[in-house]
Every structure is written in structure tokens, then in C-alpha cells.
Amino acid sequence: MATKRENYDNEILNLRAFYLVLLKKLWILPIAAATGAIIAGIIYFLANVVYAPARNYVTESTLYIYFAYDENKKAEVDFYNAYTWNILVKAEDSNLEIKTDYNILDKIMENLEDAGYKEGVNITREEVVSSVNADIPSDVRVMIFKVSNPDREKSGAIADAANDALVEYGKANYAFTSIEILGRSDTKLELIPDRMGVAVIFGAVLGFVLSVLTLIFSKAMDDAIYVPEDAEKRYNLPVLGVLSGEGAEEPSFFRNELLLSVKSQLKAEKSLVLISADDKTGSEKAEIIAKRLKEVVGNGLPDGMPTIQPMSLPGNDNDSAQQLSNVDGAIIAISMGTHNGAMTEHLISLLKKLGCKVCGIVVTDADMKLLNRYLGL
């Protein structure tokens, strides 16, 4: 159960421990999904309700196009699609295959002026161009002409002006026999589909996926220790055992393992210092662990336990070298699940430079449930 891990000292990743730790974080996934859904819903609400642009009034017309017969091709003209019509309506017809002096947009503006909308005063060409859209859903002979404008009256007026202009265009252009208006809808407020549900689902899925990827990436980059075997592989030092958190009952299985390791590994040592990789300024954590260590194994050693003195990190005490020279070695305490891998490695390296023997490691604040699952107890 191992694969190559390249991100922390090229060590081997213990997949069993990796997935067990990951499973403990699964509660994050539904929270991330719910958070994503709420955020997506809020964004959708703000974008489409609170700060939504003004809704348009829509008028739709249906026109039927009678194409003329092309003698050269021996068939009806058939190259007028939605794209072509939109270019024609917006007066950009100079590059079309069929040329005509009749300009649809000019005629629309004339019809609007006749209806009381003077160009440059009540309405502009740009407004008309942005309001109209010609669509050919399937049959090239049927056009759906849609007008969308924030002003209800303008929407209807533009639609009527455009319908008349298209009918005139059908008469003026030799590509057509005629263009006929089949119907015109009432001018109605544009209906905006409610996609709040889609936004919420999308946010939930996105939150879930991002949380999964974040968990996997964070655990792959994690330098914390979760099982004793990983500490031994990483630091090439014996792990004397594990200790549960302060105030927790020590399981007999792990207490016996710790007792056996201390008997085996600390036979010759009479005095030791205990340094916690978690102590950044003083020796508070080291004092707690030293006391806990004496409580757990002190009475189980027939010849008595070596004297263990808590000590702060060497970099925090000018008398560290003197104190280390007066003991037989050091025990390093590492809290399970704490991101102290780099500090632990630095501490081991420094102790070696100072000529202090590192007798072993004690993993503290152990999650006994995790270890029981890992060992199958």
C-alpha cells in the first residue's frame, strides 16, 4: 500500500494512513457543497433580480418568403438564411451576392418617422439595430422577426415599421416574388426563465468537487505524522511509542508497546532531555509530555525510568549546549497530525551537530481511533 511521494523529501506515501486521515475529513464535503449552493444562489439572485438590467418588451412577427425562380440554377433562390437576413436588416449588404438599392434599415427609419419617432430625437439607428433579430428556425421560407426594447411602445412601433419594410423589400428585390406577414404577436414583457435551481445545483457540485480536490492536494502535501511507522521511515529513528492526549485514558495495548520500547531502547541511558517540536518559545509542551510519560511507564520499569528533563528548542536557550552535554541523549516528541515535519527534521539535524544522541521519538496527542483502524484492532 505505498506509492512514490515526491513532494516531501521523496518519501513513500502510506496510502492506508492517507485514506484513513482523508475519511476523517469527509464532513467537509457536504458543508462545502452547501456553501457552494448558497453562494451560487446569492450570486444568481443579485445578478438576475437585484442588479438585473431592465427587462425588454418583445414583439414577434412571422413572415412567409416567396422566393423567385433562378433561371440559371433552375431552382428557387435558397441562400437567404438567418445570418443573411440580419445583415440585410442592419444595412450591411454591400458584400452580399444579391445587390439592391433598397435598404431595409432606411425604410424602417422612414416608417418610424411616419409613426412619430424622429431619428436622432426619439430613436436612433443604433437602437433599432440592437433591438431587432431575424431568425430562420428551419424552413428558409419562414422568418421569425423579433424586436426587444425596454420601451413597450417602441417595441411595437419598430416591429410594425420593420414588417412594412420587409414587405416592400420583397417587392423591390428580384430574388423574391413577395414577402407576406402571417402574424404579429402582442407586445409582452420578456419572460426570463428562473434558473435558480440550476445555479444552486451547479454551486453545490462545484463546491463538492473543489473540496475533494483541496482535501486530496492538502493531504498529499501534508508533512504531519499520523502513524509511528511513517515517523521511523522519515527520520530513520525508533519510535518509542504513542501517547494519547492529556487527560485521556491510555489504552493498554499502546501502553504496553511504549513500556517494551523504553525497556529495550533506553537500557543504558540514565538521564535524558525531552524536546517537543511543537514548543516554539518555551518548554510547556515538553513539560506536559515528560510528566505524562512518567505516569504511563514509570511504574512498569523494574530498574526505574531514566531521568527525563523537559527542554525547550535549542534555538530558544543559550544554555542548550551545556544542558545537552550533561545528559545521555534526547527524546523528541511529535504531535500527531501537526504540521511540524520541517521543524522536527531541523531539530534532529541540530542535535546531531551538537553531539547529542537522539534516542527515539514519542508520538503524542495520538488519535487512538485512527490507530485502531489503521492496525485493525
Contact 77, 241 (CB under 8 A): no
pLDDT at 155: 92
| Cα 254 versus chain centre, distance | 40
More confident residue, 371 or 298: 371
Q: What is the mean pLDDT of residues 172-199?
A: 88
Q: What is the mean pLDDT of residues 5-31?
A: 70
Radius of gyration of the chain (CA): 40
Percent of residues, the chain, with pLDDT higher than 70: 88
pLDDT at 267: 79
pLDDT tens for each residue of 270-294: 888 999 988 888 888 888 888 888 8
Cα distances from 152 to residues 56, 185, 189, in angstroms, run: 8, 13, 8
The Cα–Cα gap between 85 and 146 comes to 12
Q: What is the mean pLDDT of residues 316-322?
A: 79
Contact 145, 166 (CB under 8 A): yes
Contact 154, 132 (CB under 8 A): no
Q: What is the mean pLDDT of residues 23-31?
A: 85
- Whether the per-residue pLDDT at 42 is higher than 90: the answer is yes
361 φ/ψ angles, rounded to the nearest 5 degrees? -125, 140
pLDDT bracket for residue 5 (50, 70, 90): very low
- Maximal CA-CA distance, the chain: 117
Helix axes 228-235, 341-353, angle to 10 degrees: 50
More confident residue, 163 or 259: 163
Nearest to 200, CA basis, from 37, 26, 16: 37
Cα distances from 108 to residues 95, 99, 167, 184, 238, in angstroms, run: 21, 19, 11, 16, 90
pLDDT at 96: 46
The SS3 of residue 299 is helix
Q: What is the pTM of this model?
A: 0.57
Q: Which is it for the CA torsion 292, 266, 346, 225, positive or negative?
A: negative
pLDDT at 2: 43
Q: What is the mean pLDDT of residues 156-177?
A: 90
Average pLDDT score over the chain: 84
149, 154, 160, 162 alpha-carbon torsion, rounded to 10°: -60
pLDDT at 300: 55
pLDDT at 299: 60
- Window from 31-40, 68-77, 343-352 with minimum mean pLDDT: 68-77
Instruction: Give one DSSP letter per residue of 245-273, joined into a string.
Output: -TTSPPPHHHHHHHHHHHHHH-SS--EEE
Q: Which three cell numbers stand for residue 295?
A: 505516569
Contact 169, 106 (CB under 8 A): no
pLDDT at 71: 67
| Cα 204 versus chain centre, distance | 11
- Window from 32-41, 196-205, 321-330 with minimum mean pLDDT: 321-330
pLDDT tens for each residue of 84-93: 888 888 865 4
207, 210, 216, 221 alpha-carbon torsion, rounded to 10°: -120
- Residues with Cβ < 8 Å from 113, sequence gap 6 or more? 119
Contact 64, 140 (CB under 8 A): no
- Whether the per-residue pLDDT at 99 is higher than 60: the answer is no
pLDDT at 4: 44
Cα distances from 78 to residues 62, 181, 183, 293, in angstroms, run: 18, 19, 23, 92
pLDDT at 6: 40
- Whether the per-residue pLDDT at 95 is higher than 90: the answer is no
